[in-house]
Each structure stands twice: as structure tokens, then as C-alpha cells.
């Protein structure tokens, strides 16, 4: 009787053996199929890893699987191997890795019945009807207005708009809209959508396209380092075109907040092929369909966020990772993979080129380029004659700030608006104020569950913790001394919005942050409004920093970026530089010159100076030299072992025991800690970390292996949880 080796979604790093389910013929069993198996007192969906002849367990004690759930493997050989590779690399339980690679529907025993995909478009009558004419049916009016702005509306948009599918049917009954059928076919069938005009490439773009295109059909990793507005997207579009012409499929990864309807439409307009989006906003059914169509070779272009790296393809010919430095590519819990790094691995497995693009590449990627592992392609000029913005540092020491803004900045904004242009004010902190303090006794509004302050949200009259989501009503008296004089210390975007609106009452002030864009639709409306080009002030967090193309923004103001310069994390300077350059890159992207003002208390800081005087490429290379000197990643390799518990000493003792399992320290592998995590208490749990640093990757993996064995054999007490983070991107 064959033995089945199965990956089970559970916290254990081992594989489990089962006997075949009753009635299954040996020839029906193939690795990559899903099996229903008994596990403890549960039934779980596992993945068949291998069919073998014997087991290390006494076969009399093996249980039979309950059922074979697939006729064909759900995970093909490539993805099955990738999952096993990633489980080893990230030291994460194999069952959980493989399960996370699957669309949610396939993780369950019985996929629920699929809802028919639905999509609507406008009729001629609908185009000719003003939404106001539907006064008595406000929901229909809203949907009609949306249909007049975009060619197709699907279920996800209806949800965002807060209307039921019945409303769409009502519009159809009135002859104003009509069902457009299946989401994927609709995009493809509408070949007239491919009307996007392609500009003539400039010499730098042409060079980049040629270099990558020459490598189609074999593995070749590239880093495209192109200043903001240099036309990287145009390079992607040309390469996708060539990839499709070879009969292959293309995968484009974008950061979580980069997959906007604007981005999708930009791709959709260029190709007559269907563009398939895979992101968290889809229903499970939509996601599964996209996944299946990619696997069957019908979806030719797939654009997705992090987890789209696990999409199966019939003939993958090109992978593009846009804004490759973006932190959203690294999963921050559970299976802590980096989609960017897995993209390079998948390109190698599929013998195809991979293009990592950014104006501010991660130091890891630059290092790989310097070592010759990636071929470096550069776009040093903005496309289409746009000029780089001029950047100046404004010294705010000993200057009066009004709600965080200096008079100089306000004057610049005033001039910008008077000239008919738009200004963007960036502050990476939402809410009204990050600190509430009593003027009488000095009381501070702290979170009860975290080592953190509560943020004031004036509009909702709330205090909110941005780390654990705790919410309290905004007090009107100090809870300690009952003094009514409570002070708001420091600005957040909500405060800036109010202050700017007071100062410029005749212009709209638009805030873009997580609080104002809780639905995709709200974000789209805001963005479209700005793109109409009337003078206005935009206020926002890093949601504004990425990818947006606002041709009428000529002034960008950056507030309070100093924090990153003094961060405990050695990556603080890199992050600060990337953010500054990305935000600054929103200025002057079209024919109007741009100006960037950075308010700072430390205008002489070498990091800021080098960035402003020499630009990101020189700045990043200086940081690399520093990392080399200190033997920090990307020189050498690191992993972070985290533990949290209801008491700090439990977490620390657990990590100390893991460290002891490593044996005496050696020059090739150092373990630092256990240390309390920078924010030790979060959501009521105490957190500690152990940092491993090695010169060679193999030493890191050998150490982690020993450490995980020790971790699994210890009984975790007091609700202790622990996890391993290979190539961590932060210390928390
Ligand atoms: P990036 O992604 O590098 O920030 P984009 O691809 O968004 O830059 O390009 C910025 C702007 O320049 C876009 O409006 C784009 O249409 C335009 N553009 C790109 N390439 C060219 C070109 N070769 N000639 C003229 N305009 C171009
Ligand atoms: Zn008080
Ligand atoms: Zn909290």
C-alpha cells in the first residue's frame, strides 16, 4: 500500500503520513492534490507532497485519508516545489506555506457554489441621462454617475458604493445600463478598450526595453532604477507587449496601495488582452476565477499585490515588480515571505526575465546589482520633457509653527494656488494630534494595552490607538485632575486639513489617508477630483506618496520626516530617504516645474543633506558603504525570532532557551538578545526578540534549523507565541 506524505496546515514544521483514502487507485494520486484528512479530532484539508513506499511511523498506526479532493493537482509541480523551498528558506511550517499559496476557497473542504460573476456597463440612453434625473432613486443615481466615469462596474464596486446588485438590475430595467457578462471576457471582448496611445520611447527607455526583451525566454534578473516620472510604466508596457507576442503570460506585482483603478485602467487601455487583477478587494469567487484563468493560460496579464506571486501560470514569460522597495511585499505575520525575492526565484524556475523597478531601490537590490547578480538599468531623466523638482530644506528651529506649518510654507502654498496650481502637504500621521496632555498636571493619554500614546481624532470625538485599534471617547476634562485645559501636541493630517481650510477658505482642501478612504470608491473620487486640475490643497499620509500622477501639483511640502533619522532601526535612514524621494516625486510631473519644501529641525543632518545635494542613487550608495563597514544586511544575513506572552519574562526566557540551543557563539553566527522589542507591550502582550546575524546564508539556516527544533520541542506555556522572520524588514 502506498504511503501519502501530506502537508497539514498547523504550527508544526513536520510532514504527516497517511494511507490512501478508501477507493483511491494508486494511479490517481499525484503530488499537489488536496486531501481531506483526520487530524487530531478535526478534519482538515492537506496537500499531498509525495507518494512513497514506507514510513518512519509504524504503518499499522497510520490513518487513512478521508477523501481525495482533486482529480488534477491543485498546486502544479513548480508551485509545489516553490512552496517547499519557501518553507525551508523562511523556516515556516510547510502546511501553512502551501495553504497560503491557495485562494481561500480551495483551503476549505467544500468550495461553496460559485456566484455568477457580474459586470455592468452603460447604454447609450444611460450616457445621455444626467444622474440628477434619478432624484427619487439616489442609489441608482450614484451608480449611474459611476458608470459614466468608468467603462465597467463589477460587484466589488457596487459593494464600495454601498448598493446592492438589485440597484444595477433596476438601472438595466430602465434601459440605462446593461449586463456586460463575465468580468474577464468583458475586458477582453472590449477590444476597442485598447486605444491607449503609446509615446515614442526616449533613448534610456529604449535601452532598458531592449536589454530585457533580448532576455525573454531565459532567466535574467534586472533592476530598473528610474527617477520618479521617468516612464518606468511605459517600459513595463512595452515588455509585456513583447512577452504576449511570444504567446506567454506576464505577471506584474504592485504594492498594496498601488493597485488603484487608475493603474488598472492604464494597463487595460493599452492591451486588447484581458487584464486580470488579483487583490484583497475581490470576493473569494472572483479571486478563484482569476487564479484558474491564469493557470489555464487564459489570463494573459495578471496584476496583483503580494500574494499574486503564487498565481499558477501555464506559460509565464515575464515578471515585473513595481516599486520593488515597498514594504508591503514582505508579509508581516505568519508565513513571512518576500514577494519580491520570490519573484526572482520564480523567474529562475520559469526561465524568464524579472524586472524590479523603483525610483528608490532597496539597498538589498542595489547590492545585488553591484555584485553583478542583477543587471542595472537606469532612467536618469523624467520622460516627456518634465523637469526634476527642486528640493529645499526649511529650517524650522526657533520658528513659530501654526498647527505644524511655518509661515514660509503657507506663503508658498498661497502663491501656488494663486497661480492656478495644486499643492500637496505630506505628513505620515493621521488623526488630529498624536498626543493629548493635561496642562494642569501633565497627564498623557496613553493606550491601556500598548506602550504608546493615543491619537486624537477630533471629527469622531475619539482617542484611538494606532497599534491595537483601541478606542475611547475624547475626554473634556483631565481624568486625573479634572482640569478642562487639555492640549493637543503636534499635528496629524486631520489637524492640517482644518488649519489649511481655515487659511485658504476659497479653495478645496482634500485629505487622503486611511480615515478618509476607507472604501476604494472614496479614494477614486478624491483622486479623480484632483486630476480635474482645479487649484486645491491635498493633505495626506504615504497613501499619497506612491504611484499617483497628479499633473497639476507643483508644490510638495514634507513635514516632520526627521523622526526616521533617529529611529532605532538601522534601516531608518533608508526608509526616510525613500519616502522623501517618493513624495517629492509627486511634484512637477508634467509640463509645470515642481518645487519641494522639507520642513526640518535638522537641516544639517548628513542623511538629509546627501539626499538633497546628491539625489537618491548617491545617497543609497553611501548608505551601502556604511552597512558594509558595520557588516549589516545586505552584507551578511539576519533573522529575527520574536516571542510574545502575557509576561515579558516568559517571552525572554523562551528566547534565552532557544539561544542556548544554538550552543556557544561562533564568529560566523551571532545571536543578539533576547531583548525587549522596541514597543515592548502591544495589545496587552509583552514582546521580546532574538536577532541572529551571520556572514553566510548557510550558517543562518543551520542555526535556525536548530533553533526551530528546540522551539517546537519546548512546551509553550502562558499562551506564549513565537515566530521566525528571515530577512526581516523591521524590528517590531
Ligand atoms: P514612472 O512610473 O517612472 O514614475 P510614468 O510611467 O508614470 O513614470 O511616466 C510619467 C509620465 O510620463 C506619464 O504621464 C507617461 O505617460 C509619460 N511618458 C512616459 N514615457 C514617455 C515618453 N517616452 N514620451 C513622453 N511621455 C512619456
Ligand atoms: Zn490633569
Ligand atoms: Zn494600543
Q: d(Cα 298, Cα 242) in Å, to the nearest integer?
A: 17
Atom of ligand 1 nearest to the CA of 226: 3
The contacts found for 70-73 with CB under 8 angstroms, 24 or more apart, are 70/33, 70/34, 71/28, 72/30, 72/33, 73/30, 73/31, 73/32, 73/33
- pLDDT tens, position by position, 111-150: 655 555 567 888 888 988 999 888 888 889 999 998 888 7
| CB of 388 closer than 6 angstroms to any ligand 1 atom | no
- Would you say 556 and 537 are in contact if contact means Cβ atoms under 8 Å apart? no
- The three-state secondary structure class of 623 is helix
pLDDT < 70 positions in the chain = 111-118, 180-196, 520, 546-547, 716-718, 732
270 lines ligand 1 (CB under 6 A): no
Dist. CA 454 → ligand 3 center (Å)? 7
Q: pLDDT at position 689, please?
A: 96
Q: Atom of ligand 1 at shortest distance to CA of 585?
A: 4
Question: Distance from the CA of 441 to the center of ligand 2, in angstroms?
Answer: 4
In whole angstroms, give the CA distance from residue 434 to residue 464: 10
Nearest ligand, CA 469: 3
Q: Say if residues 574 and 526 touch (Cβ distance below 8 Å).
A: no
Q: What is the pLDDT of residue 367?
A: 97
Q: What is the pLDDT of residue 463?
A: 97
Q: What is the pLDDT of residues 201-240, one digit of tens each?
A: 999 999 999 999 999 999 999 999 999 889 999 999 999 9
- Confidence (pLDDT) at 547: 62
Contact 276, 298 (CB under 8 A): no
Euclidean distance between CA atoms 306 and 291, whole angstroms: 14
The DSSP annotation for 375-417 comes to: EEEEE-S-GGGPPPPEEEEEE-TT--EETTEEHHHHHHHHHHH
pLDDT at residue 401, as a whole number: 87
Q: What is the pLDDT of residue 112?
A: 55
Whether the Cβ atoms of residue 673 and residue 613 lie closer than 8 Å to each other: no
Q: What is the pLDDT of residues 346-372, one digit of tens each?
A: 999 999 999 999 999 999 999 999 999
Contact predicate 257/328, CB 8 Å: yes
Q: What is the pLDDT of residue 378?
A: 97
From the CA of 440, which ligand is nearest? 2
Q: Taking the CA of residue 716 as centre, how many other CA atoms within 13 Å lie in the half-sphere pointing to its CB?
A: 20
Supply 114's cell numbers: 460559485
Looking at residue 268, its pLDDT comes to 85
> Is residue 196 within 6 Å of ligand 1 at its C-beta?
no
Answer yes or no: is the C-beta of 551 below 6 A from any ligand 1 atom. no
- Here the cell at position 485 is 485645559
Task: Point out the ligand 1 atom lying closest to the alpha carbon of residue 232.
Answer: 3
Residue 514's pLDDT is 87
Amino acid at each position: 500500500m502506498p504511503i501519502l506524505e501530506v502537508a497539514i496546515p498547523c504550527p508544526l514544521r513536520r510532514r504527516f503520513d497517511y494511507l490512501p483514502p478508501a477507493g483511491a487507485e494508486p494511479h490517481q494520486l499525484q503530488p499537489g492534490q488536496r486531501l481531506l484528512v483526520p487530524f487530531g479530532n478535526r478534519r482538515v484539508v492537506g496537500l499531498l507532497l509525495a507518494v512513497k513506499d514506507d514510513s518512519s511511523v509504524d504503518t499499522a498506526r497510520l490513518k487513512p485519508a478521508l477523501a481525495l479532493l482533486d482529480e488534477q493537482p491543485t498546486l502544479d509541480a513548480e508551485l509545489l516545489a516553490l512552496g517547499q523551498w519557501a518553507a525551508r528558506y523562511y523556516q515556516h511550517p510547510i502546511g501553512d506555506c502551501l495553504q497560503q499559496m491557495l485562494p481561500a476557497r480551495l483551503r476549505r473542504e467544500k468550495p461553496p457554489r460559485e456566484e455568477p460573476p457580474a459586470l455592468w456597463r452603460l447604454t447609450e440612453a444611460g450616457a445621455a441621462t444626467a444622474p440628477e434625473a434619478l432624484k427619487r432613486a439616489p442609489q441608482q443615481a450614484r451608480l449611474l454617475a459611476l458608470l459614466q466615469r468608468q467603462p465597467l462596474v463589477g460587484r466589488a464596486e457596487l459593494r464600495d458604493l454601498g448598493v446592492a446588485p438589485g440597484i444595477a438590475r433596476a438601472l438595466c430595467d430602465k434601459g440605462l445600463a446593461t449586463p456586460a457578462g463575465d468580468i474577464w471576457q468583458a475586458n477582453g471582448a472590449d477590444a476597442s478598450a485598447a486605444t491607449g496611445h503609446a509615446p515614442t520611447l526616449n533613448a534610456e527607455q529604449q535601452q532598458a526595453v531592449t536589454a530585457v526583451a533580448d532576455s525573454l525566454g531565459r532567466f535574467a534578473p534586472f533592476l530598473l532604477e528610474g527617477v520618479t516620472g521617468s516612464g518606468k510604466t511605459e517600459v513595463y508596457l512595452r515588455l509585456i507587449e513583447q512577452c504576449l507576442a511570444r504567446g506567454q503570460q506576464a505577471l506584474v506585482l504592485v504594492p498594496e496601495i498601488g493597485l488603484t483603478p487608475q493603474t488598472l485602467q492604464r494597463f487595460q487601455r493599452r492591451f486588447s488582452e484581458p487584464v486580470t487583477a488579483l487583490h484583497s478587494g475581490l470576493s473569494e469567487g472572483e479571486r478563484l476565477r482569476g487564479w484558474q484563468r491564469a493557470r489555464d493560460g487564459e489570463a494573459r496579464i495578471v496584476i496583483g499585490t503580494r500574494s499574486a506571486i503564487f498565481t499558477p501560470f501555464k506559460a509565464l514569460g515575464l515578471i515585473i515588480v513595481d516599486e520593488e522597495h515597498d514594504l508591503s511585499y514582505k508579509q508581516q505575520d505568519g508565513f513571512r515571505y518576500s514577494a519580491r525575492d520570490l519573484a526572482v526565484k520564480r523567474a529562475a524556475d520559469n526561465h524568464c526575465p524579472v524586472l524590479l523597478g523603483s525610483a528608490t531601490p532597496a539597498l538589498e537590490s542595489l547590492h545585488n546589482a553591484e555584485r553583478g547578480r542583477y543587471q542595472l538599468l537606469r532612467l536618469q531623466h523624467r520622460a516627456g520633457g518634465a523637469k526634476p523638482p527642486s528640493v529645499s530644506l526649511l529650517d524650522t528651529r526657533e520658528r513659530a509653527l501654526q498647527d505644524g506649518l511655518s509661515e514660509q510654507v503657507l506663503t508658498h502654498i498661497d502663491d501656488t494656488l494663486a497661480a492656478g496650481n495644486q499643492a500637496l502637504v505630506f505628513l505620515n500621521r493621521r488623526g488630529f494630534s498624536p498626543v493629548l496632555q493635561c496642562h494642569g498636571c501633565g497627564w498623557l493619554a496613553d493606550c491601556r494595552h500598548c506602550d504608546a500614546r493615543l491619537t486624537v481624532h477630533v471629527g469622531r470625538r475619539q482617542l484611538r490607538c494606532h497599534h491595537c485599534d483601541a478606542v475611547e471617547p475624547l475626554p473634556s476634562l483631565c481624568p486625573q485632575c479634572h482640569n478642562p485645559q487639555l492640549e493637543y501636541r503636534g499635528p496629524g493630517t486631520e489637524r492640517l486639513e482644518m488649519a489649511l481650510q481655515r487659511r485658504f477658505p476659497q479653495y478645496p482642501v482634500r485629505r487622503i489617508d486611511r480615515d478618509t478612504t476607507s472604501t476604494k470608491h472614496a479614494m477614486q473620487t478624491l483622486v479623480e477630483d484632483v486630476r480635474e486640475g482645479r487649484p486645491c490643497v491635498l493633505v495626506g499620509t504615504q497613501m499619497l506618496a506612491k504611484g499617483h500622477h497628479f499633473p497639476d501639483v507643483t508644490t510638495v511640502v514634507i513635514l516632520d520626516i526627521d523622526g526616521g533619522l533617529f529611529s532605532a532601526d538601522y534601516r531608518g535612514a533608508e526608509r526616510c530617504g525613500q519616502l522623501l524621494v517618493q513624495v517629492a516625486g509627486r511634484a512637477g510631473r508634467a509640463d509645470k516645474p515642481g518645487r519641494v519644501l522639507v520642513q526640518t529641525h535638522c537641516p544639517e543632518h548628513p542623511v538629509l543633506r546627501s539626499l538633497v545635494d546628491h539625489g537618491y542613487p548617491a545617497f543609497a550608495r553611501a548608505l551601502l558603504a556604511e552597512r558594509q563597514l558595520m557588516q549589516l544586511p545586505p552584507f551578511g544575513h539576519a533573522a529575527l525570532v520574536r516571542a510574545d506572552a502575557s509576561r515579558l519574562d516568559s517571552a525572554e526566557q523562551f528566547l534565552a532557551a532557544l539561544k542556548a540551543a544554538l550552543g556557544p557563539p561562533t564568529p560566523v553566527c551571532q545571536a543578539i538578545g533576547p531583548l525587549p522589542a522596541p514597543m515592548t507591550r502591544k495589545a496587552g502582550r509583552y514582546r521580546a526578540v532574538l536577532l541572529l546575524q551571520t556572514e553566510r546564508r548557510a550558517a543562518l539556516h543551520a542555526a535556525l534549523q536548530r533553533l526551530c527544533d528546540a522551539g517546537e520541542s519546548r512546551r509553550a506555556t502562558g499562551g506564549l507565541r513565537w515566530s521566525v522572520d528571515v530577512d526581516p524588514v523591521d524590528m517590531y
